[in-house]
Structure 1
């Protein structure tokens, strides 16, 4: 072996789960210049550095299919909350909210303000956002979507109404520019007030360039409760009109009267997949997290305040108790607590399992990097699937879980040369103990790192080793 043929890094004696869904097998991996150069018996090979993976699973780095890390990648470039789970790529800009394009000093409505963007020096074009990632990379890869709500804030003086034709044309042009620069698609969040007035035709008009660039359309549905079926149908219609793949974001059924309805929605999605391109993601919890709403949405269910700018002393308390103390109903109390975030305990375990085990479901954390008590999914999503749902519940095999976290999102989002352990692919690798991996983050202690993740490698760089971040920032843009 010549000096040039020496490996930069060897992973020895591991059990590989390659991300395709096939059975695990024993093998070594050799890495050169950030890519997988060899897979096989490399026990006699030479390398500058090696990792002994005896008794451990060696898998592709996990791809978080649904995040709101647009600003976090700059504010917290080590991204320990994600790297510590084995995540090596995040899909940003979901639910219609991306950090660009936005002008300076324009007030940001909920939920866009949850990204905690600076008042000035914002990214006025999506291309500028991508250039910033290139020049100041975080420790993981970024696959960015451009957000419909962000476009509305940029292009419209009043987001409480449908967009005019000229405004749609303006947003379509910005979307095309973003796709040309490297965005992997468009996202929408018509469930939220700043985009709720958007019509189906508005979304179709703005997304007209998606097919040209092979982009996806990730959708937070208009309704995830009583009108879930109609909302799914609307998403299907938009996908068919544009001739592109849609992603149903964090599929769920909210409110007790809708519990069990996944037995309707999952077959509905499966049937539609026969004639159009559809994918979906979910998170493995029965509670969601979002802005503090002040509509009928807060009149039922258990709601816990995560952050409140006007009443920070209420952090960690239930809305029911706060309303009682304030001497008002829950809607009025919620209005007093705005702006802020809350955890909504509105789902049932039966639906979570039904959606999670569906073969086409990807895994997404949907966490928000705000407040001292974020939803535990920010720190625990992927080990929770591998530990609780695979090892303890037996919902599906470890190979199937890894596929849902790697090759499935890589295929759905068109991420080239990522998602499997294959020759020539980027060396994004997660090494974990299948017997001890588990989430430690809870609603009471939501930022506890997971256990069992032994090493995480990003583009060939050992980034997280034995519970410690190495300080390397070797992420890049991951696109089509």
Structure 2
């Protein structure tokens, strides 16, 4: 992982562009605990060149199903399968047992397919999330039959589970990691801040109840505690449902502001 970071930083310096580590994580039991080392290395290099990083709040990732990845995971959930769609949402170990074959053979029968891999340590996830310069990021595959819950739960999970319940950081810090810090790192002028004249991108939520509802078993579920969502001044979510408004727009990076 250090070699990977060194290579990325070198490319950034030579090409003259900012480096974004997305998403920062330590995969595999041999790397558990190494976030202390990587965060120290990242922080040291941040003083020399533009570097930022994000993290999503789960110990599992999701991508294409493969035997190699499955072999290094403590648990694998099949998120979709074109060959055998009825197995979506089930553990690979259970699928192999039902088929009466090895895990590798089960993978071959399921392909092409996607999977959720449990390959990270919770202590590393928390340490990376808590790091001052870590943005909260997520991605997701909305067309998966049984997607990773990060698609529906990431930001509410940070506010509720990691912020309010575990006390990893104050509410204001959690919000900043999702908004102002991201806008600053990507040079998005008048975004991620609450002030007169800025774009009205706002989420109204109950700080005492906001949390994820999506789970690995039931990954498609709106977060709780979210009252209203406003994008570019237009209400897009209210009363537990979408308003149908689509005021979003492509955002251009303000190069000069980022360099300053």
User: Partner of 2:258 in structure 1?
Assistant: none
Task: For residue 96 of structure 2, give the secondary structure of its aligned residue in structure 1.
Answer: helix
Query: Hey, what's the Cα distance between the residues in 1 that align with 2:143 and 2:169?
Result: 32
Q: Unaligned stretches of 5+ in structure 1?
A: 1-227
* Pick aligned residue for 2:198 from 425, 428, 433: 425
TM-superposed CA distance for 1:327, in Å, is: 4.4
Q: Deviations over 1:198-249 (max 9, x none)?
A: xxxxxxxxxxxxxxxxxxxxxxxxxxxxxx1111111111111111111001
Q: Which has the larger radius of gyration?
A: 1
- CA contact 2:89–2:145 (8 Å) conserved in 1: no
Deviations 1:316-371 (A, max 9, x none): 22222333444443333222211121010111110000000011111112211122
Distance 1:306 1:237 in 2: 36
Shift of 1:266: 0.8
Match of 1:463 in 2: 236
Q: Secondary structure at the match of 1:289?
A: strand
Between 328-337 and 231-240, report the one with greater CA deviation. Answer: 328-337
- State the Cα RMSD in Å: 1.3
Secondary structure of 2:182 counterpart: helix
**Paired residue for 1:442?**
215
Which range moves more in the overlay, 360-369 or 311-320? Answer: 311-320
5 Å-filtered alignment, 1:25-424, equals 228-294=1-67, 296-301=68-73, 302-424=75-197
3-state DSSP of counterpart to 2:184: helix
- Between 1 and 2, higher relative CO (CA 8 Å, sep ≥ 6) is seen in 1
Q: TM-score, normalised by structure 2?
A: 0.93
TM-score by length of 1: 0.51
Query: 1: CA distance between counterparts of 2:11 and 2:174?
Result: 30
The CA distance in 1 between the partners of 2:10 and 2:104, in whole Å, is: 34
Partners in 2 of 1:469 and 1:322 — Cα distance?
Answer: 36
More helix by share: 2
In 2, the alpha carbon distance for the partners of 1:262 and 1:247 equals 17
Q: Secondary structure at the match of 1:442?
A: coil
Q: Is the 8 A contact 1:453 1:466 kept in 2?
A: no
Q: Note the residue ranges of structure 2 that are not aligned, 5 or more in a row.
A: 254-260
1:372 counterpart SS class: coil
What's the offset of the Cα at 1:476?
1.2
Counterparts of 2:86 and 2:243, CA distance in 1: 36
Q: Aligned partners of 2:185 and 2:20: how far apart in 1?
A: 8
**What is the distance in 2 between the residues matched to 1:322 and 1:435?**
40
